[in-house]
Structure 1
Amino acid sequence: MQRRKFLKTAGAGAAAATTVAAPALAQGQPELKWRLASSFPKSLDTLWGGAELFCRRVSELTDGKFKIQPFASGEIVPGFQVLDAVQNGTVEVGQTAAYYYIGKDITFTFDTAVPFGLNSRQHVAWWMHGGGREAMAEFYKDYGVVGHMMGGTGAQMGGWFRKEIKTVDDLKGLKFRVGGFAGQILGKLGVIAQQIPGGEIYPALEKGTIDAAEWVGPYDDERLGFYKVAPYYYYPGWWEGTGMGTAYINQKAWDGLPPAYQKVIETTADEVTLWMLGKYDNGNPAALRRLVAAGVKLQPFPTAVLEACFNATNEVCNEIVAKNAKFKKVWDIWKPYRSEQVLWSRIAEGGFDGFMARMYGAGKV
Structure 2
Amino acid sequence: MTQRREFLKLAGGAALGAGAIAAPAVVRAQAPIKWRLQTYAGPALAAHVIKPSIDAFNQAANGQMEIELYTADQLVPQGELFRAVQKGTIDAAQSDDDSMAAPVDVAIFAAYFPLASRYSLDVPALWHWYGLNDIWKEAYSEVENVTWLGTGAWDPCNMATTRPIKSLADLKGLRLYTFPTGGRFLSRLGVVPVTLPYEDVQVALQTGELDGVCWSGITEVYTVGWADVTKYYLTNNVSGAWAGSYIANTEKWNAVPDHLKTLFQLCMDSSHYYRQHWYWWGEAHYRTQGGKLELTTIPESEWKAVETEAHKFWDEIAQKSPRDAKVIGILKQYTEVMAKAGPPYRFA
Residues 1:149 and 2:150 aligned together: yes
Shift of residue 287 of structure 1? Answer: 3.0
Q: What TM-score results when the alignment is normalised by the length of structure 2? A: 0.81
Shift of residue 222 of structure 1? Answer: 1.9
Note if contact 2:159-2:234 (Cα within 8 Å) is conserved in structure 1: yes
- The residue aligned with 1:271 is 270
Q: For the residues of structure 1 that align with 2:150 and 2:313, how far apart are their CA atoms?
A: 25
- The residue aligned with 2:38 is 37
Note if contact 1:148-1:248 (Cα within 8 Å) is conserved in structure 2: yes
Shift of residue 255 of structure 1? Answer: 2.5
Residues 1:301 and 2:301 aligned together: no
Change (3 A) 1:266 1:227: closer
Q: What TM-score results when the alignment is normalised by the length of structure 1? A: 0.78
- The residue aligned with 2:18 is none
Change (3 A) 1:261 1:225: closer
1:273-288 equivalences in 2 (<5 Å): 273-288=272-287
- The residue aligned with 1:318 is 315
1:12-27 equivalences in 2 (<5 Å): none
Change (3 A) 1:54 1:227: closer
- The residue aligned with 1:129 is 129
Change (3 A) 1:102 1:316: farther
Q: For the residues of structure 1 that align with 2:257 and 2:230, how far apart are their CA atoms?
A: 50
- The residue aligned with 1:234 is 234
Runs of 4+ in structure 1 deviating by more than 6 angstroms, as ranges, are none
Residues 1:75 and 2:74 aligned together: yes
Q: For the residues of structure 2 that align with 1:214 and 1:149, how far apart are their CA atoms?
A: 24
The runs of 5 or more residues in structure 1 that have no matched partner are 1-27, 355-365
Shift of residue 111 of structure 1? Answer: 3.7
Change (3 A) 1:315 1:337: same
Q: For the residues of structure 2 that align with 1:339 and 1:267, how far apart are their CA atoms?
A: 32
Shift of residue 329 of structure 1? Answer: 3.3
Shift of residue 335 of structure 1? Answer: 2.9
Aligned-residue RMSD, C-alpha: 2.6
Q: For the residues of structure 1 that align with 2:320 and 2:160, how far apart are their CA atoms?
A: 34
Deviations 1:146-189 (A, max 9, x none): 22335533334x21223333433332222122224221111122
- The residue aligned with 2:201 is 201
Note if contact 1:149-1:270 (Cα within 8 Å) is conserved in structure 2: no
Report the AA paired with residue 301 of structure 1: I
1:1-365 equivalences in 2 (<5 Å): 31-44=32-45, 47-101=46-100, 104=103, 107-118=106-117, 119-144=119-144, 145-149=146-150, 152-156=153-157, 158-238=158-238, 240-291=239-290, 293-294=291-292, 296-344=293-341, 346-350=342-346
- The residue aligned with 2:15 is none
Shift of residue 348 of structure 1? Answer: 4.2
Q: For the residues of structure 2 that align with 1:190 and 1:40, how far apart are their CA atoms?
A: 27
Shift of residue 136 of structure 1? Answer: 0.5
Deviations 1:90-120 (A, max 9, x none): 1111111222146845621334342111232
Report the AA paired with residue 37 of structure 1: Q
Question: Residue 50 of structure 2: SS of its match in structure 1?
Answer: helix
Note if contact 1:101-1:108 (Cα within 8 Å) is conserved in structure 2: no
Q: For the residues of structure 2 that align with 1:66 and 1:343, how far apart are their CA atoms?
A: 47
Q: For the residues of structure 2 that align with 1:30 and 1:332, how far apart are their CA atoms?
A: 48
Report the AA paired with residue 263 of structure 2: V
Note if contact 1:150-1:272 (Cα within 8 Å) is conserved in structure 2: no
Question: Residue 94 of structure 2: SS of its match in structure 1?
Answer: strand
Note if contact 2:178-2:213 (Cα within 8 Å) is conserved in structure 1: yes
More divergent stretch after superposition (75-84 vs 35-44): 75-84
Q: For the residues of structure 2 that align with 1:217 and 1:149, how far apart are their CA atoms?
A: 22
Change (3 A) 1:39 1:207: same
Shift of residue 290 of structure 1? Answer: 4.0
Change (3 A) 1:189 1:74: closer
Report the AA paired with residue 207 of structure 2: K
Note if contact 1:48-1:72 (Cα within 8 Å) is conserved in structure 2: no
Change (3 A) 1:94 1:203: same
Deviations 1:189-221 (A, max 9, x none): 222112334432211111111222123223321
Q: For the residues of structure 2 that align with 1:329 and 1:93, how far apart are their CA atoms?
A: 28
Shift of residue 236 of structure 1? Answer: 2.6
More divergent stretch after superposition (172-181 vs 262-271): 172-181
Structure 1 or 2, whichever has the larger Rg, is 2
Deviations 1:306-347 (A, max 9, x none): 222212212222122123334223323333233223432x23
Report the AA paired with residue 324 of structure 1: S
Q: For the residues of structure 2 that align with 1:164 and 1:71, how far apart are their CA atoms?
A: 35
Report the AA paired with residue 332 of structure 2: K
Q: How many residues align?
A: 318
